[in-house]
Amino acid sequence: MLEDKNIVLKYKSLWILVGLSMLVFIVYSSLVSDPLSIDMGFEWQDKVLHAVGYFGLMGWFIQIYHEPKTRYILAAIFIAMGIGLEFLQELGGVRYYEVSDMLANTLGVLIAWALVKTPFPKLLSWFESKLPSN
């Protein structure tokens, strides 16, 4: 895997906070009895939203953590989280789990993972380089 030890994020704490906010939003949306609903007008929109959410989560954290071992751990955690949250929905008695949602969540993580060897993991670093310096 690509490991770039030269990337140092000036606002790493802020980026981690943004990522944790994304994580909290996904957990909340997965467990609340009446989640936010977006109608995009096509049949599999729910699965697309699952994949996009987990892509965003994994994609965000691969920009912060560049060590291969850390990325493997994050991918495993996010995949397990996507599966576990689906089962927790069933326990709540209001919603139910779907294997297709678990697969969509996993697909989102894997698509982000596929971008590890591209310039994608350097986007936050690039963004920081465009900010005015003090």
CA distances from 131 to 10, 11, 41, 124, 127 (A): 11, 11, 38, 11, 7
Count of the separate structural domains present in the chain: 1
pLDDT at 64 over 70: yes
Phi, psi of 129 (to 5 degrees): -70, -20
What type of residue sits at position 91?
L
Angle between helices 68-92 and 99-114 (to 10 degrees): 160
In a domain, 107, yes or no: yes
Contact between residue 52 and residue 107 where contact means Cβ atoms under 8 Å apart = no
Give the pLDDT confidence score for residue 36 in this predicted structure: 67
Q: Which domain holds residue 16?
A: 12-32+44-122
pTM: 0.88
Q: Is 126 strand, coil or helix?
A: helix
In a domain, 115, yes or no: yes
- For 13-29, the pLDDT digits (tens) are 999 999 999 999 999 99
